[in-house]
Amino acid sequence: MIETRSVDPCLSFISSQLQSAGEAGVRAETGVCRAVTLSRQTGCGALVVAEKLAHYLQQHSKRALAWTIFDRNLIDKVLEDHNLPAYLAKFLPEDRISQLEDFLDEIFEVHPPVRTIVHQTAETMLKLAALGNAILIGRGGNVVTSRLPDVLHVRLVAPLEKRVEHAHKYYNLTKAAAHQFCLTEDRGRARYLKKYFNADINDPLLYHMVINTGEMNYDAAAKVIGEAVLHPV
């Protein structure tokens, strides 16, 4: 079973992982990456690849516990972890908050400073990665978990025209809106990583592998990543 939408799957995931870790005779699968981070250009099909990857790992892994995807639902988990009100979900940045909004919000203390929320998000991501069987999409997951062992870091890229086509179909946008959407989201994600982690999102040295989904279809990409998870070098 693959969960991607609400906080309930996150809680179920953590509960099952902790219970498994405490049961006699249950051991983590050795020689296998315990978590995956997916960085992506907008429109690369990251969520589709993540879902296919989770299915692949579930089918080929010896470990019984499900692989769980954390994307937008990560926001809910951060709020729950740190006892923050639900309305703050819209302020969790990555690709949603402008420099001006960031500046004004910290001055007028409309909500906890963005840096505080970024720090709390990092704490939650570290917890999930350490528990294992987690696929973390975006929010600097590769930088946050860079010092954890057994975490595979992947970057998905594709030519702009193919990303625009995917966004046009997947998000039901006009071609013009899809084009602007891809550019705006990419700028926001790059700014997020640079501002809060002083890292260049396009630096290939931050990843174990970079996959062009414009040249490799989603099934093939998921299989390549899955094999790297199950048989790390």
Q: What mean pLDDT comes out for the span 17-45?
A: 68
Provide the 10 A C-beta neighbour count for residue 18: 10
Whether the predicted pLDDT of 224 surpasses 70: yes
1 within some domain = no
21 within some domain = no
Cβ neighbors of 204 (< 8 A, separation 6 or more) are 155, 210
Report pLDDT for 115. Answer: 73
20 within some domain = no
For residue 192, which amino acid is it?
Y
23 within some domain = no
The band of 78, judged by pLDDT with boundaries at 50, 70 and 90, is: low
Coil, strand or helix at 150: coil
Report pLDDT for 83. Answer: 62
For residue 215, which amino acid is it?
E
pTM of the model: 0.77
Count of the separate structural domains present in the chain: 1
Domain that holds residue 118: 7-13+32-230
220 within some domain = yes
For residue 128, which amino acid is it?
L
27 within some domain = no
Report pLDDT for 111. Answer: 58
Q: Are 118 and 196 in contact (CB under 8 A)?
A: yes
Q: Are 85 and 18 in contact (CB under 8 A)?
A: no
Express each pLDDT in 169-185 by its tens digit: 988 899 999 999 999 99
Express each pLDDT in 196-215 by its tens digit: 889 999 999 999 999 999 99
CATH code, 54: 3.40.50.300
**Gap between the Cα atoms of 124 and 156, Å rounded:** 23
Query: Which phi and psi angles does 157 have, rounded to 5°?
Result: -135, 165
The overall average pLDDT reported for the chain is 79
**Gap between the Cα atoms of 66 and 15, Å rounded:** 12
The band of 33, judged by pLDDT with boundaries at 50, 70 and 90, is: confident
* Percentage of the chain modeled with pLDDT above 90: 44
24 within some domain = no
In DSSP notation, 60-114 reads H-S--SPPEEESTHHHHHHHHHTT--GGGGGG--TTS--HHHHHHHHHHTSSS-H
Express each pLDDT in 136-162 by its tens digit: 999 899 999 999 989 999 999 999 999
182 within some domain = yes
- Cα 151 to Cα 137, 144, 170: the distances in Å are 13, 11, 29
Express each pLDDT in 34-66 by its tens digit: 899 999 999 999 999 999 999 999 888 776 678
Provide the 10 A C-beta neighbour count for residue 108: 8
**Gap between the Cα atoms of 189 and 195, Å rounded:** 10
Greater pLDDT, 115 or 221: 221
